[in-house]
Amino acid sequence: MLAIAYHFPVLPRYRDQFQHAWRAARGSLQQAIGLVSCELTPPRERHDTFVLLLAWDSQASFERFTRTWVGVWMLNGMGLQREAFAESIRTNIGAKGFEPRTDRHAT
């Protein structure tokens, strides 16, 4: 299994827009072939990031997803302009402590 965590450092004034974009994309993401689970964790503090945790059944499934329009759109900030982010989006592969859920409808 391939576990990936994306850290989106969204500025507070853009957080509602980001959450709206996530809700719009979640259905398409959950239908991605090979996705085992997905979960978006909102920031707890003002300077924390949104963390999108994805678990894939294989590297090939993830790579196929990154070539879809929704994959490109999501992994590049879900349509928000660069000014909406405090810093670059970070990626962790095989994030420690990430125990993916087994249901495909995790939020």
pLDDT for residue 96 is more than 70? no
State which CATH number among 3.40.220.10, 3.40.920.10, 3.30.70.100, 3.10.20.30 fits the domain covering 2-93.
3.30.70.100
Domain ranges of the chain: 2-93
How much is the pLDDT for 99? Answer: 56
Q: Where are the alpha helices (DSSP H) in 1-87?
A: 15-30, 59-66, 69-75
Mean pLDDT of all residues in 40-67: 93
Residues 74-83 pLDDT 10s: 889 999 999 9
Mean pLDDT of all residues in 20-41: 92
Mean pLDDT of all residues in 4-27: 94
Residue 16 neighbours by CB under 8 Å, 6+ apart:
none
CB neighbourhood size of 24 (10 A): 13
Among candidate residues 86, 87, 65, the one with its CA nearest the CA of residue 75: 65
Average pLDDT taken over every residue of the chain = 87
pLDDT for residue 59 is more than 80? yes
How much is the pLDDT for 102? Answer: 45
pTM of the model: 0.82
